[in-house]
Amino acid sequence: MTAVSLITAALNLLNVLFSEAATLAILLVVRPVFSLCLAGMYMAHTNRIFDVRTLPEPRLSHTAVRLLVNGFRELCNLARDIKWITAASLVFIAGFAGGYWITTQGLSKIISQFVGLEKGGIVFERYLPVSIFADIFFHNWRIAAFTSVSGVYSIAAPATIVLVNGIILGAVAAVLPFTDFYVAIMPHGIVEIPGFILAAAAGMRLAYQLLARKEKASYIKRAAYIALGLAPFFAVAAFIETFITPFFIKLYLKSL
């Protein structure tokens, strides 16, 4: 705990979020080691040995473009599957309505202590914008990516995730005046909320496909592509939330 506290304090001095630095460390150090261990286990289990010296060197840019193209293609296919988009949207709306109603029944004073335009401004003034952008992007994309493939557990998993997101947003809407809510949420919410709904629709559809059909591996792969295809949406949403939404909030507060 002492080491974590010291690291957190050092990062605070540099105006860098600890969670963002931890994510970067995982991507650069932990994940490659974990992937190497998985590759070793696979070769040991299948008795297949790969000589990495004979394999073509992968190009990160080409791989990223290919994955994003496949992800966008699967997103387009999902967008044409109206029934799952509708189902995920209805669950989100139900969560929003439930969160709004529950908050108005006596929780508004408690939640209002943690929600407000001024409180959000403190975070943006304390940390580097790039650090905040990375933290918001990785956090939201991780949730959306997991939601997209969470149908492997059951249809309840993606439905619960989008329901909880709706409840949280509904609770915020209940304690903020309409104009405050619109200024603080809608600039990035118009991109972020549909992204979560698409992720939930993908997860719910995957759960149904795994129950009804046999080619399970291909459906899981398609859901994983959707998770990758959602990355640009959440990158745009994080950029707006980090660099544009605070600007609108400042203008709005000055006009009061």
Rounded CA separation 103/119 (Å): 19
First-to-last alpha carbon distance for the chain, in angstroms, is 44
Which amino acid is it at 90? L
Of 245, 20, 244, 252, the residue nearest 127 (C-alpha): 20
Tell me which of 122 and 165 has the higher pLDDT. Answer: 165
Confidence band, pLDDT 50/70/90 cuts, at residue 197? very high
pLDDT tens sequence across 1-39: 455 455 555 545 444 455 555 555 555 555 555 556 656
pLDDT tens sequence across 37-95: 656 655 665 566 666 555 565 566 677 788 888 889 999 999 898 999 999 999 999 99
Confidence band, pLDDT 50/70/90 cuts, at residue 169? very high
Of 241, 217, 198, the residue nearest 89 (C-alpha): 198
pTM: 0.76
Q: Specify whether the CB–CB gap between 201 and 85 falls below 8 A.
A: yes
Give the pLDDT confidence score for residue 134 in this predicted structure.
83
Give the pLDDT confidence score for residue 64 in this predicted structure.
73
